[in-house]
Structure 1
Amino acid sequence: MLFKMRIGLKLQIRIGCTNTKAPVSQILKYCNSRCLAVVPQGGNTGLVGGSVPVFDEVIVSVGSMNNIISFNKVSGILVCEAGCILENLISFLDNQGFIMPLDLGAKGSCQIGGNVSTNAGGLRLVRYGSLHGNVLGVEAVLANGDVLDMLGTLRKDNTGYDLKHLFIGSEGSLGIVTKVSILTPPKLSSVNIAFLACKDYSSCQKLLMEAKRKLGEILSAFEFLDNQAMNLVLHHLDGVRNPLPASMHSFYVLIETTGSDESYDREKLEAFLLSSMEGGLISDGVLAQDINQASSFWRIREGVPEALMKAGAVYKYDLSLPVEKMYNLVDDMRVRLGNLAKVVGFGHLGDGNLHLNISAPQYDDTILEQIEPYVYEWTFKHRGSISAEHGLGLMKANKIHYSKSPETVQIMASIKKLLDPNGILNPYKVLPH
């Protein structure tokens, strides 16, 4: 173990040894006996303050626990430590002929333990589902130092309560995840990407419905961004060009298909695009001809958060809403804010995840008062979730009632009390405080 002091009485402990659970167990046992609060930390790429200390908590960093323990080519099951960087796992699996079911913009620095602890969503959830479906097992250390070995590698195990799901998405508030076993799909040879323009949000919705019907088993991503997001990317990111330069369109859609037959898949996608064009759902579009062009399409979509940061202050909201209502919130916010700020809408249309971002030259309490609690009230009214994939962390813990009933929150608090009676694990996060 390496002990390292941080600014302001914060102690950071980096774990790195062959038997990863032993030092984590010892640290938590010691901290629990003295009621010392602990914050688990991975890549620290979260957007809601889930992995940062608030007062004088001990930081337990799992970044040095970065070993791949095993990989089974027959089953496609990967077992690894929590500190493995997502991009490194993606590269490892690529060499084995497999892929990670999770892919997101922060993959170069986020770690799989943090991904599991926040139930990260990402770009291809529409195809591969959430980590609740792909994680087969975890090893987790409880607040008192007890180690729960739930590192199963079976796809079917119907013996009692499936406790691993308590730790997927709990943001380190119930235990520290130290190892993970993940089901990974085989890498398919045929990948096609189309970048399209739509005249209105209604066309985007209808295009998604048609894509699910006509592309079915090969549809792997369905992303969208509005013209405000496109403008920001074009103005603030070097080397990015609009693939559809003839004119600015109201909405842009990125569709990715993944299959095993290049000729069949491409013909299927081209037929879908032709029928969508003839039906008026698509105003313009282009199909990537090579990997470089495909990467440039993804660069536009993944570059929106970076462009927003370069543009100035940004208020970020990660919402899950019924697809038919999703963009209504963006329109409502534009009316509400007027000239105070720019309202940008983009996200994972395929699974109803809106990234609502409000961009302004600088942070202003007047703007924030117009945004909150209006955004949360609007989401509650339409039975949405105030956090689709970023978690609650510190920033949204007190707003959990907009998504969960009082009875549900009480059950969560009871589980927290059972597993962490002294409340040392990631305090002030997830649950209202």
Structure 2
Amino acid sequence: MIRSFAADGLKRFASIRCFSSTPDFTKNNYNVQRGGYQSLEEDHIKYFQTLLGENRLVMDLSDLEQYNVDWFKHYRGNSKLVLKPKTTEEVSKILSYCNKNKLAVCPQGGNTGVVGGQVPVFDEIIISMALMNQIESVDEHLGVLVCQSGCILENLDNELEKKGFMMPLDLGAKGSCHIGGNVSTNAGGLRLLRYGNMHGNVLGLEAVKANGEIIDLMSSLKKDNTGFHLKHLFIGSEGTLGVVTKVAIQCAVRPKSINLAFLGLQSFPKVLKTFMQAKQDLGEILSAMEVMDSATMDFVKDKLKVESPIGEYPFYLVIETSGSNDEHDADKLHKFLETTLIKHFALNGTVATEPSKVKEMWQIRERIPDSFVKDDYVFLYDVTLPIPDYFTLVDDVRDHLGSKGKVFGFGHLGDGNLHIQVAVDKYTHEIKDFIEDYMYSRVVELKGSISAEHGIGFAKIKYLEKIKDKNALIFMRQMKRLMDPNGILNPYKLIFEQH
């Protein structure tokens, strides 16, 4: 059922330009200089054909386009070859050969990233993980999933459902993204508040270094203090230190009861008070806390014809609970909502307990990115901020931008992850710099992070020095040189030096 209440009287971090046609090459748009890598030759192709067979090589120009261009059509590479291995051993042989011949490679999962980390910049050989999609085991006692890195997130969740478990990660791109990509970017998602990010859920992994060496860090143990926790080197390294080929993930028990509240609020201070009330009243069953402003809700309504179920308000909160007792959980959520109305934190709200209604209300939040794809020129920024300053940045950017564009704020309030979209009438490099130079500096002043869950990729690489300690950057470069001395792994991304 849906029960309603009313109070009486009362993500260049990642700059996204949505094109209707194929964009120009990234190297041209950003004036990038190619590294000293070898170009693909006939002998190289013959080796890969012998290794994989002709059917697992993609060389037709029309087929290559889907691998060379990112989903938002902002970045475009010029790869002439896609390889599709099925085993870790094949990945090992590919990388060993490429390293010896100084051929640059770009590992690619579902191609759903938004910072250009998954597509080539020049003619790097793309290693598609799409055929490494086998689930090896699910431990029915411990809930540990072992699978290859090319498995699609939603497929994994569907398989786990049969065993009474669920993936701890939930993303809008779950129908396309690969678990290997999720690990390599340390993905966050909608329920990080409850289940954490990939660093906390990956028990073990297998990866292949640039020289073809296979590093077996597989484990199903939650506790293992036998030396350096090397798996964490690969989580969030975006394919620059090695190619992840297999993972072991601690999965959560699938909740029997899921409820959702959709609230309308007057101001962000009221949002913060509601957030604190939810943590107190919902505690152990609180699983997600999403916020959006009225500009975002109006944009979704205009582009997708999706409306708020409670009318128009300056701010909206989507609050999810997950537990094991329908009556208990629904009662707690109803009492929480009544409290927020009595205390005048919220102006209006509705609660959904039926699965179909829960899904329907979640769609309002999950489809926000879809609405921005339908606009001509949109920049996306993905940042983390201290929660008290969560919407300070939105207000500041609006003041800075004035009539030059429209600013939209929404995101994962529970972990401080804010998404800001800026829509402009016409894309120019000048407006891009005008927005980003200010925003980057303001994030640093607010003691935030330039990347919350999308990684650094190509889009944010030049801004790392604004946020990272100098010695930390030096250490990152030293690690890159140690593990990939020829720099063949995903060049021009995250931490790059000319070779």
TM-score interval, normalised by the smaller of the two chains: over 0.9
- The question of 1:216 aligning with 2:280 is answered no
Give the one of 302, 307, 331 matched to 1:241: 307
Residue identity matched to 1:281: F
Q: Deviations over 1:35-89 (max 9, x none)?
A: 1111100001000000111112111000110000000010000000000000101
Give the Cα separation in 1 of the matches to 2:334 and 2:496: 50
Give the one of 243, 246, 270 matched to 1:176: 243
TM-superposed deviation, 1:196: 0.4
SS in 1 for 2:131: coil
Q: Deviations over 1:362-414 (max 9, x none)?
A: 32334213212111111111111100000000010111112211110110111
Give the one of 171, 174, 179 matched to 1:104: 171
Residue identity matched to 2:489: L
Paired position in structure 1 for 2:423: 359
Aligned counterparts, 1:32-431, within 5 A: 32-238=99-305, 240-245=306-311, 248-431=312-495
Contact persistence 1:139–1:179 (CA under 8 A)? yes
Give the Cα separation in 2 of the matches to 1:410 and 1:297: 46
Give the Cα separation in 2 of the matches to 1:405 and 1:182: 31
Give the one of 66, 76, 83 matched to 1:13: 83
Give the Cα separation in 2 of the matches to 1:410 and 1:9: 30
- The alignment's C-alpha RMSD in Å is 1.1
Give the Cα separation in 1 of the matches to 2:241 and 2:186: 14
- Per mean C-alpha deviation after superposition, the further-off stretch among 97-106 and 395-404 is 395-404
Paired position in structure 1 for 2:58: 4
- Per mean C-alpha deviation after superposition, the further-off stretch among 366-375 and 119-128 is 366-375
SS in 1 for 2:252: coil
Residue identity matched to 1:14: K
Residue identity matched to 1:242: S
Give the Cα separation in 2 of the matches to 1:64 and 1:120: 21
Give the Cα separation in 2 of the matches to 1:125 and 1:257: 13
Q: Deviations over 1:98-119 (max 9, x none)?
A: 1100001000100000000000
Give the Cα separation in 2 of the matches to 1:341 and 1:243: 28
How many aligned residue pairs are there?
A: 427
Paired position in structure 2 for 1:22: 89
Give the Cα separation in 2 of the matches to 1:289 and 1:179: 37
Q: Structure 2: where are the runs of 5+ without partners?
A: 1-51, 62-77
TM-superposed deviation, 1:360: 2.0
Give the Cα separation in 1 of the matches to 2:279 and 2:79: 53
TM-superposed deviation, 1:202: 0.7
Superposition TM-score, scaled by structure 1 size: 0.97
Give the Cα separation in 2 of the matches to 1:432 and 1:317: 22
Contact persistence 1:232–1:311 (CA under 8 A)? no
Give the Cα separation in 2 of the matches to 1:10 and 1:139: 28
SS in 2 for 1:375: helix
Q: Deviations over 1:283-312 (max 9, x none)?
A: 100001422221121111011111112122
Contact persistence 2:382–2:453 (CA under 8 A)? yes
Superposition TM-score, scaled by structure 2 size: 0.84
Residue identity matched to 2:437: P
Q: Structure 1: where are the runs of 5+ without partners?
A: none
Contact persistence 2:138–2:146 (CA under 8 A)? yes
Contact persistence 1:194–1:254 (CA under 8 A)? yes
Give the Cα separation in 2 of the matches to 1:231 and 1:56: 41
Give the Cα separation in 2 of the matches to 1:276 and 1:322: 23
Q: Deviations over 1:188-220 (max 9, x none)?
A: 111110000110011111111111121111000
Fraction of identical pairs, as percent: 50
Moved >3 Å (runs of 4+): 6-9
